[in-house]
Each structure stands twice: as C-alpha cells, then as structure tokens.
Amino acid sequence: MTPVTLLTGFLGAGKTALLSRLLRWPDLRDTAVLINEFGEVGLDHLLVEPLQGEVALLRGGCVCCSIRGDLKAALIDLHDRRRRGLVPDFRRVVIETTGLADPGPAVATLVADPVLRHAFAVGAIVTVVDAVNGARTLDTHEEAVRQAACADRLVLSKTDLATPEAAASLRARLAALNPMAPVTDLALDDAPEAALLTDDPTGAASARRWLCTEIPAPHGTVGAVLIESGPVDWTRFGLWLGMLLNRHGTRILRLKGLVAVEGAETPVVIQGVQHLVHPPRHLPAWPEGEARTRLVLIGHGLDGDVLRRSYGAFTGAPDVPGPSAPPARAAADR
C-alpha cells in the first residue's frame, strides 16, 4: 500500500515552497507528486514547474503530475504507469491541494473507492498556515479552519516574517483548534524535516503523543472534545459513532483516538475526517500505562458534556478512574 499525504493550506500559505524544499531530501526522491490546479490559470502548476525539471527522472526519480481530471483517475493512472514501468517506482504520493480545498473529499476518494483503497492508504494530512496572514485567514475563511482542524501535522510558515508575538498567538490558536497535531515552525532558511512526509500518522509514536496531549478549552466555535472511558464493546461503539457521524458529520471535522476494545489486548487506532472513518487498525501494544479509550473529536459547536453523556449511554463503557481519589487511610484519618 502506498501512503498518500495530503498537503493543504490556504492560498499563499507556502505549500509549494514547502514541497519543493522537502523534495530536496534524498530520502524523499521516490515521491510522486500530484498537483491540484485552481481556476483557469494554473498558478500552483506554474510555480511547481521547476520541480518537474528536477523530477525529470534523472536526479532522483520523483514524478510530478498535474491533477487535471479527478483524483481517482490521476491515482489510477499513476499506479498503472508504475506497474508498467513507465514511471520510476515510488514509495509515497503527495497531493498538493488547492488553497480552497476541503481535505474531506480527497480523503473520501482514498478511503472509499474500491480500486484505490487496495493500492493506496491515507497518509498524513499536512496543513501549512502562514504566520503572517494565518490569523486573518482563519477569521474569514471556513476552508482554512477546516484545513487546520483536519491536520495530522501543522506547519507554521513564514515565521521569519511575523512578529514573535503574532507567531506565538497563532500557535496557541492552532493548538486549541487542533491539539492533536504538532506544530512545526518553518522560517525561510529552515530545512523542513523529512518526517513530515514519512511519519505514520496512526503509528505507535503518534498514538503515544495522543495519549499525553492536553485538550485545551476551545477558542471560538471550533474546538476539541475529549471522551475517555475504560474498555468498550466494539459493536456498541460503532453504532454510536455511526449514528453520530450520520447526523453531525458535517460539523465534526476530525476524530482521532485509541479505543480499548473489550476482549482485545491491543489498542485500536481510529480516525476520521468528517463523515468518513478510516479502516481501524490494531497497534501491536499499548503505548504506555493502562488500557483506556481516548477519543478526540474536533468540530463546530460541540458540547463536550452532551457528547460524553451520549457516549456513556450508548456504549455503557465504564469511566476511567479519576486521578484525584484520596487514599482510603487519608479519608479515614479525617
């Protein structure tokens, strides 16, 4: 299965600049790149033209294509050409979406299409946010909020052009909007880490991070809700989540979690974008500590108390033990 990374970010955030710098890493040369054009003038495509020169199968074997039809056709074509040896073998695909793109449909194509899902797997969603204009863009464009909320990794670009205060404020806002996504600063002269394209967003390292991430109170209407419990019956959990996404999927932008399934010794990683849930997968072992379910939902106007109560009523899963219960002797001494 070839992982597909979605590189998103609002117009002018610096997606193409990030991509061209990433592809200089020798380890990332075996990356196929699909570029999504916007409007009649393919600005993104023109900007990325130098990549095609570099990719020209001489210096590393990257493959650049432009998505002129739909994503499915482009991926199938790429897969077919690789199979026939018409393009060099590649180990990953990066799709640079348009600045106005909602990542949901691209994820839907990858998760749901019966042909694609046997050849490609959803990789990370990497969202670039411009440190200079990002706050204003988040204020005024719903697409930008969706892109940040859906991300597995956030890249704060142009930090050399923003004041430290503005960058810090935006970083805090992004942490409240999507606490599960690490934020990487990227100034003009920084070399972006190759891990942006190679990390497994549902692997053990990511899961370890999820378990210890604090979920701050939401700033504004979009925010994160944490649901925790002991082991849960998988069927009841699936019914609850399916029902929730059927009715509220348009305002649940992202969900991520580790599920402790009754009768299973290892955790199940679950994640989704809007209505779509990726195929769940088992991790080989619990990253650390006790087995407990930890689910984070990011969305518009989510009421954490109602969600937690609903989860409890539907699944009957036991609460996790509270951290501050006093020891028995201390209670008896009073």
Partner 1 sequence: MCSLCGAFGAPDHWSDGLARTVPPEAERRARATAANRVLGLYGLRLAAWGGRYTLSGRTGRSAVIDHLGALWPAAERLSGRSCDPLDPATIAALEAR
Task: Give contact residues for partner 1 (rule: CB under 8 A).
Answer: 108, 111-114, 233-249, 261, 263-264, 268, 275-282, 303, 306-307, 309-310, 312-314
Is the dihedral angle over the CA atoms 194, 198, 201, 207 positive or is it negative?
negative
Q: Give min distance, CB of 139 to partner 1, in A.
A: 28
Output 62 or 116, the one with its CB closest to partner 1: 116
Shortest distance in whole angstroms from residue 252 CB to partner 1: 11
3-state secondary structure of 85: coil
> Which DSSP string corresponds to 151-183?
-SEEEEE-TTTS-HHHHHHHHHHHHHH-TTS-E
In the complex, the smallest distance separating the C-beta of residue 26 from partner 1, rounded to whole angstroms, is 36
Q: Number of H helices and number of E strands within the chain?
A: 12, 13
Q: Which is nearer to partner 1, 82 or 236 (CB)?
A: 236
∠257-258-259 over CA atoms, to 5°? 115
Residue type, 90: F
Residue 334 C-beta: closest distance to partner 1, Å? 33
| φ, ψ of residue 124 in degrees (nearest 5) | -80, 155
Considering the complex, state which of residue 209 and residue 282 has its C-beta at the smaller distance from partner 1. Answer: 282
Indicate the residue among 59 and 118 with the shorter CB distance to partner 1: 118
Judge whether 67 and 38 are in contact, CB under 8 Å. no
Least distance from partner 1 to the Cβ atom of residue 255, Å: 12
Cα separation, 217 vs 183, in Å, equals 18
Structure tokens at 55: 């990719």
Pick 90 or 120: Cβ nearer partner 1: 120
